Structures are given as structure tokens and as C-alpha cells.
Amino acid sequence: MKKSLIIFILLLFISTTLFTYGVENQITITDEDTDLGVVGVYINGDVNNRVKLLVEKDGTRYSYNLYEKDEIQLFPLQMGNGSYRIRVMENTEGNKYKTVLNKEININLQDSSITYLNSIQEINWKRDNKAIIKASEITEGIDCEQQKLEAIYSYIVKNIKYDYEKISTITSSYLPDIDEILESGQGICYDYSSLFAAMMRSVGVPTKMVKGYTDLIPNEYHAWNEVLINGEWKIIDTTFDAAYIQDSKNVDMLKTASDYNGEKEF
């Protein structure tokens, strides 16, 4: 009996040790690109439980779901220069999470707009994406940022329709796929803003995706963009404008700031 108990305790210790070792070595926080205003997370292999990333600074917190991928996932450090606390949280039960990794990162960017040129989890793009190739095609020969904005804006509001059925089918884990949006020719506000931001960033124009509320679409959580033109952030809402343009109605491309209340920006 005593021998069996000892064996059981040893097996329990070994399994617990292996589990801890595995978790610590499966997830890595990388700070190699903090000079670009982003932090990276790499997941090596299968993670059995749900994991989240928390990015915190000065009492403000951004939370992201993490997914198994064969590449580093990038997340913005969009709350200005200073010290950030980066945590990877693992689900234990229900809505409870424990800290798996904890890292402090300091950034001191000379130009914070560089943050909004990156490919990140919610605005995920690569040079060989069809949407990015399209952005290059429609801005070919254009050097002016305003003209790049007008070209990409015009393409999206004319070619992407709002998908009224999709909004009721997606879950909180949904992430836009810019090529799927381009090919299907439809999407929700999250899709519009992600596609627009990806295309604009790919041609060198800093662009935010903003989530919050607008008086133009009352009582609905919404997503839109802000584009840096001549040193000023301009509000662009391709979701709202597409419905007007496709119905042959006039609408102003540049929106009034007082009509928008952003809660999160990426």
C-alpha cells in the first residue's frame, strides 16, 4: 500500500511538472518589434485550454483571444510611450483565468503613428494577400496620401456590400479575413474597417481601426477607421458610406468627430 502511494505521488508530481513545463514552453512573449509599436506572441503546438492576452497601461486594458498559429501574432502598443504590462492568461474553469506569462515592456517611440502601419491580429495582412495586391494596383503611381485614401475608399464603398445575415451568426472569437471579404464582396462593419485598414497600411498610410458608437447608427456597437492625412487623424466610415454610394446617394467621405465616440482603437 505504501509503495503504491509513493508511486501515485511520483506520477502526480511528474504529470504536474510536465504540464507546467509544457505551458511555459508553448507560449512566448516577444519584444523584438516593440520599436514598431507592437508586441508578439508565439504559440508552439497545441494548447488545451483557452488563452488570452492582456495588454495593460495606466489603468487601461486590452484583451485578446489567442489562437494556435505557426507564426508570431502581433498586437498593438497603442496607449503611448511608457511601461506596458503584458500577460498571457490561461483558462482554468468557467470564466476564470490564471497568469501563465507576465512581462513588462517599455517603449519610447519618436513617432507613435508607426504603430498603425503593422499587420496585427485584427488587421491581418501579408504582401501576397489578394486584398493587398488590389491595394497596390489601385494606388499604382500615386504618391499623395490623400489620393491613396480616395482610391482605396472608393474601391471599398463601391464593391463591398453589408452582410445583414452575418452579424447574427458570428461569435466573440471572430476575426476578419481580408481576402474572404474581398472575394465574397460583403461583410459587417468589423470587416469593412479591417479591410480598409489593411489596404491603407499596406500602401504606407497609418490607419486605425476604432470600435465604439456613432450618432449615425444609434445604439449599435460599430467599427470605423481613422487615417493620418497631413498630420491629422481623419474619420472614415466605409460601412456607413457604402450603403449610400451603392444607392447612388451622395455622402461626405470625411466624418465629423463629434458624431463618433471611440472606445477602443487598434
The x, y and z cell numbers of residue 180, run together, are 474572404
If you count them, how many residues does the chain have?
266
pLDDT of residue 18: 38
**Which DSSP state fits 255?**
P
Q: Output b/e per residue, 58-96; b: 16+ Cβ within 10 A.
A: eeeebebebeeeeeebbbbbbbeeeebebbbbbeeeeee
**Three-state DSSP string of 180-213:** HHHHHCEECHHHHHHHHHHHHHHCCCCEEEEEEE
The percent of residues in the chain predicted with pLDDT above 90, rounded, is 84
User: C-alpha angle 174/177/178, rounded to 5°?
Assistant: 140
pLDDT digits (tens, 9 = 90+) for 149-208: 999 999 999 999 999 999 889 998 999 999 999 999 999 999 999 999 999 999 999 999
5: pLDDT strictly greater than 90: no
What is the Cα–Cα distance from 226 to 194, expressed in whole angstroms?
12
261: pLDDT strictly greater than 50: yes
Comparing 3 with 228, the larger pLDDT belongs to 228
Give residue 232's pLDDT band: very low, low, confident or very high (50, 70, 90): very high
Pairing of strands 260-265, 73-76: unpaired
211: pLDDT strictly greater than 50: yes
Domains and CATH numbers, the chain: 2-117 (2.60.40.3760), 130-265 (3.10.620.30)
User: Model pTM greater than 0.85?
Assistant: yes
Give residue 47's pLDDT band: very low, low, confident or very high (50, 70, 90): confident
The x, y and z cell numbers of residue 36, run together, are 514598431
Compute φ and ψ for 227, nearest 5 degrees. Answer: -120, 135
Q: Which of 180, 150, 166 is nearest to 245 (CA)?
A: 150
Identity of the amino acid at 164: Y
